[in-house]
Structure formats: C-alpha cells, structure tokens
Amino acid sequence: MKNKHIVIKHIGNFNSEIIDSILLSIKNLLVKDNYPLIIRKRVYNISVECLDNILKHSDIHTVSKKLYDDNPSSFILEKDDTAFYVKIGNIILNENIKNVDNKLKKINSLNLDGINELYKNSLQNGEISKKGGAGLGLIVMSKTTKEKILYSFDEINNKFSYFVMNLKIRIDN
C-alpha cells in the first residue's frame, strides 16, 4: 500500500456528460504517465463499467434530497506502486440487495475458467434490460481485474442501504 493516492474523485451528481468528462480525464492521465496499453485499457474498462453501474443501477429515484446528500454516489480512482483501485458507492433499495449479493457471491466463487464460461453463457443467454445492461458488467469487472470483487451493503434505514464496491487492477502482473 505504499504511496497510495487519489487519481480522480467524484462525489455527488452523475450524468452522461459528467461520466464522459471523468473518462476523458482518466484516459489522458494514463497516457501522460506512460502506462502500458493493457493497463490503460483495463483501468478505462473498469471505470466505464463502474460509472455505468452508478448511472444505471443506483436506486435514487425515490430518494429525498437530504438522504442523497448524506449518502451521495461516488467514484474514486486511487493508485499505489502495485495497483489501481476503483471504489464506487451508491444507494441501493434493500429489496435489491439479495439479487446483487447473489450475483457477486457467484462471481467471487469462480476461478478464471469459470468466469470465462459464465461470460460466454451470459452473452448467449442474457437479455438486454430496459436500462441497457446485459447483466455482464460485474462479470466483465471480475474477468478484467482477475481479482475477487470486494463489496459491502451498509443499511441507511428500513428501505435503503449504501452499496460499496472495490476493484483492484494490478500493475505488476
């Protein structure tokens, strides 16, 4: 964990313009710092999937301003000598926790071959949801990072919780 520092941090409102601007900043920083192509693409890829996740899957439509202000959506990209870290957070309906938890438990229980099989099966059998997600985002995160996905749900009240997910992209493998 030497020299861990924040590369980009955005907390608050997310829309497609803000996401485009975050992604452009990430792209430029990675090119400027001369990272190998594969690292640049992995960090970009994970950032896109994470930002898409915040935009499409945050359960914030019925949330009061006060509750959102106390628990805003967040995207943080950090790095140290060995890896980049993407940490996202957003509000989730308690009734949706089980579904997300089951998906992540399944993904984290698989080895790389298992993840690749799940990816191929989901491509062939997954339907595109109304929000434009194919249920593939979490699988792609695991496939790209080749690491377990760390996550938690912290209860806010009897209706909502705050979902946090941590991804690690190794620089040294």
Partner 1 sequence: MKILNIEATLKSPKVIFDTENFIFEMQGNSRPENVRNFYYPILDALKRFYESALENNKLEQFSSKIFKYNFKLEYFNSSSAKFISDIILLIDNYNKKGFNNKIYWYFEDGDEDMIEVGEDFSEMINVPFNFIMIKK
Residues in touch with partner 1 (CB under 8 A) = 16, 20, 36-38, 41-42, 44-45, 48-49, 52, 116, 119-120, 123-124, 126, 128, 132-134, 136-137, 139-140, 144
Q: Which is nearer to partner 1, 3 or 173 (CB)?
A: 173
Give least dist CB 132 to partner 1, A. 5
SS3 label, residue 60: coil
What is the biggest distance separating any 2 CA atoms in the chain, rounded to whole angstroms? 47
Give least dist CB 139 to partner 1, A. 7
Distance CA 85, CA 59 (A): 24
Strands, E assignment, the chain: 5-11, 74-79, 83-93, 150-155, 160-170
Q: Which is nearer to partner 1, 11 or 134 (CB)?
A: 134
Helix 112-125 crosses helix 137-145 at what angle (to 10 degrees)?
A: 150
| Nearby residues of 136 by Cβ (< 8 Å), 6 or more positions away | 119, 122, 123, 126
Q: Which is nearer to partner 1, 11 or 123 (CB)?
A: 123
For 98, how many CA atoms within 13 A lie in the half-sphere containing its CB?
1
Give least dist CB 32 to partner 1, A. 17
Q: Which is nearer to partner 1, 58 or 71 (CB)?
A: 58
Q: Which is nearer to partner 1, 55 or 67 (CB)?
A: 55
Return the DSSP state at 82.
S
Give least dist CB 64 to partner 1, A. 28
Give least dist CB 140 to partner 1, A. 4
